[in-house]
Homo-oligomer: A and B are copies of this chain.
Amino acid sequence: MEGLLPELDVIRKDFPILERRLDNGQQLVYLDSANTSQKPQVVIDTMVDHLERHNANIARAMHQLGAESTEAFEAARDKVAAFIGAPSRDEVIFTKNATESLNLVANTLAWATGELAIGAGDEVVITEMEHHSNIVPWQLLTQRKGATLRWFGLTDDGQLDLSNLDQLINEKTKVVSLTWVSNMLGTINPVTQIARRAHEVGAIVVVDASQAVPQLPVDVTASGADLLAFTGHKVVGPTGIGVLWGKRAVLDQLPPFHGGGEMIETVRMDVSTYAGIPHKFEAGTPPIVEAIGLGAAVDYLGHIGMKAIHAHEQAITAYALEGLATVPGLTVLGPLDATQRGGAISFELEGVHPHDIAQVLDSRGIAVRAGHHCAKPAHARFGVQSSTRMSSYLYTTPTEIDALVEGLEYTRSYFKLG
């Protein structure tokens, strides 16, 4: 098959969990990578080596372990900066997940003064296909500040409806926050085009790249984003670590987020002054071993090459869309052209609830996600409450897609659907 990663077998060997036999003896077929990705041995080993040999708190410690730990942590920042093409390493802020990254922005905007301040009459624009983590923070912000939340609707084929782009993003717009790749529909959004319009009216652009960074070569500058969020556990890194990248000029204008150790310049009982970026936004002991694990993860992906991974995803996605089309009663939600979408494919199967589909697939070792995928409004837009989602990654094989399609046939017969 064209586009598949060469040496896919070798890559699969890097991921110990793929050898796993489940309780009923079935071989694991993991098709839930948009939910969380599996971890290569090198990420696990890097973390273990740190914990067993170099563990110490960073920045604060003058001793050798402290120096080793600090260097490894800051080297991870360098790696992440290079991976996303950040103009400066100081623009890379470590958070605990994409959700915290997005909340950091919405939260600090609530207390911003000057140009970035948000109040009555101001508007924040999101889209109907956002993950809850890019909806609720903006609801809280606009409710609390008396501003208005607006959003792009969706077309029937799961694209953003851009017909009212120029009305929706207007002189009142202060923030436009949107996902690059939808975790439910798979849609890849025209972020650069929307950012251009947002910048015309002086709004800042926040991009939720949680599903983009795992799958596409990402260059933050080319994207047009002012701020961009993603999460470590979806890029073969550990949980507990996320990233917020932001342009220095914007980050410098935002007030601090959490107060505490390492984000300060000086502290008196009555008043404190704050450190510059990135430390200003990294109060407390950061997720040290997690950042180091993330550094190893982006190294791993970079070594294979994001172009090659993207091509692999597209090949698998095309193959999956083909296979799913052969299942009677199955409807895919979102774009049907693999070249226009990411690798998460949500679908309905007439007559069977997603939970029941997932349960039958699980009995065959196939792990998919069933539910609203933290995108209830997008489901509501398509008149469904939930869906079943398969999502692939660099370790996914065509044989696994075959197993899914067979599993769906079996599901139909199990529930006696014709």
Binding site for B on A (CB under 8 A): 16-17, 20, 22-23, 28, 30, 32, 35-36, 38-39, 43-44, 47-48, 51-57, 60-66, 96-100, 102-103, 106-107, 111, 128, 131-140, 144, 149, 151, 231, 233, 238-242, 256, 258-264, 266-272, 283-290, 355, 358-359, 361-362, 366-371, 373-374, 376-377, 380
Return A23 CB to nearest CB of chain B, in Å: 6
User: In the assembly, what is the distance between CA of A28 and CA of B66, in Å?
Assistant: 12
Return A387 CB to nearest CB of chain B, in Å: 13
Contact indicator A371/B60 (Cβ below 8 Å): yes
Contact indicator A374/B131 (Cβ below 8 Å): no
Copies per complex of this chain: 2
Contact indicator B267/A369 (Cβ below 8 Å): no
Which of the residues B98, B261, B287 comes within 8 Å of A240, measured between beta carbons? B287
Q: Which residue from chain B places its CB closest to the CB of A371 in the assembled complex?
A: B60
User: In the assembly, what is the distance between CA of A161 and CA of B39, in Å?
Assistant: 52
Return A238 CB to nearest CB of chain B, in Å: 6
User: In the assembly, what is the distance between CA of A77 and CA of B30, in Å?
Assistant: 27
User: In the assembly, what is the distance between CA of A91 and CA of B241, in Å?
Assistant: 24
Contact indicator B98/A370 (Cβ below 8 Å): no
Contacts of A283 in B (CB 8 A): 99-100, 103, 133, 136
Contact indicator B97/A285 (Cβ below 8 Å): yes
Contacts of A239 in B (CB 8 A): 240, 285-290
**With A36-B56, A260-B137 in contact, is A285–B16 under 8 Å at CB?**
no
Most-contacted residue by chain B among A63, A97, A260, A267 (CB, 10 A): A63
Contact indicator B53/A20 (Cβ below 8 Å): yes
Most-contacted residue by chain B among A106, A139, A149, A361 (CB, 10 A): A139
User: In the assembly, what is the distance between CA of A264 and CA of B139, in Å?
Assistant: 12
**With A36-B285, A64-B362 in contact, is A96–B99 under 8 Å at CB?**
no
Q: Which residue from chain B places its CB closest to the CB of A261 in the assembled complex?
A: B374
